Amino acid sequence: MTLFFKFDFNAICQIVLEQILNDNNIKYKSVGFGEIEVLEKLSKEKQDQLQNALANYQIDIVENQKSILVQKIKDTIIDMVFNEDVVVNVKSSVYLAETLEHSYGYLSNLFSEVTYTSIENFIILQKIEFAKQLIIKQEFSLTEIAFRLNYSSVAHLSTQFKNTTGITPSAFQRIIAKRRALNQQNKTD
């Protein structure tokens, strides 16, 4: 049996962080996604204990300023793509520069230096991942998905989807439909 899940990555991370901080009796204030203000001085032992607890969930404490800003860029892009409450009517470069209060050139160079990929490529990967989730949900047509993700056309979405995944969105839809049919058939057998 195959189960499909819908989840909010940001909410899951926030819940995990809060649970670990509470379990370790650390007083904190949530500043924003991926950013926690610790309201007490942590001993080296308590910092190590916290890092070990976070490591179980593949979460690291970022201490390097460049890495912190790169993480903020990633978080902003993920929020821009996945959060339906965020409507971006400007180019992503303008949105990132205004949101993070740095020039886009600086953000772009820093991102490439630290991640060895471009901001544009990261945005495309996030958009295609979200498109796949929307296709799986079957709530939207490809036209609606293209519009939601700020593509100029379904053809543009299809080109990037195929370049990223190796198949077209229509082929992906057919695969999902076949899997659902097989699952339904297995349930009745």
- The per-residue pLDDT for range 138-160, each reduced to its tens digit, is 888 899 999 888 888 999 999 99
Residue 21 lies in a domain: yes
Is pLDDT of 51 > 80? yes
**What Cα–Cα distance (Å) separates residue 102 from each residue in 28, 46, 95, 108, 126?**
28, 34, 11, 10, 22
Residue 44 lies in a domain: yes
Question: Within 10 Å of residue 79's Cβ, how many Cβ atoms?
Answer: 18
Give the per-residue pLDDT at 186: 77
DSSP category for residue 40: S
DSSP category for residue 174: H
- Reported as a single tens digit per residue, the pLDDT across 106-121 is 999 999 998 899 999 9
Residue 77 lies in a domain: no
Give the per-residue pLDDT at 101: 92
Instruction: For tokens 């509470």, name the residue.
Output: 22
Which amino acid type is present at position 50? Answer: L
Residue 29 lies in a domain: yes
Is pLDDT of 126 > 90? yes
* Two structure tokens written together for 70: 């790169």
Residue 116 lies in a domain: no
Residue 3 lies in a domain: yes
Residue 46 lies in a domain: yes
Helix (H) or strand (E) run with residue 35 in it: strand 35-38
**Residues forming beta bridges with residue 38, ordered by sequence position:** 28
Q: Count the domains in the chain.
A: 1
Residue 175 lies in a domain: no
Q: What radius of gyration do the chain's Cα atoms show?
A: 20
- Reported as a single tens digit per residue, the pLDDT across 62-85 is 677 888 889 899 999 988 888 776
Cβ atoms of 117 and 83 closer than 8 Å: no
pTM flag (> 0.75):
no
Mean residue pLDDT across the chain: 86
- The whole domain housing 34 covers 1-61
* Two structure tokens written together for 97: 């520069």
Residue 88: which pLDDT band, with cuts at 50, 70 and 90? Answer: low
**Residues forming beta bridges with residue 46, ordered by sequence position:** none
Which amino acid type is present at position 172? Answer: F
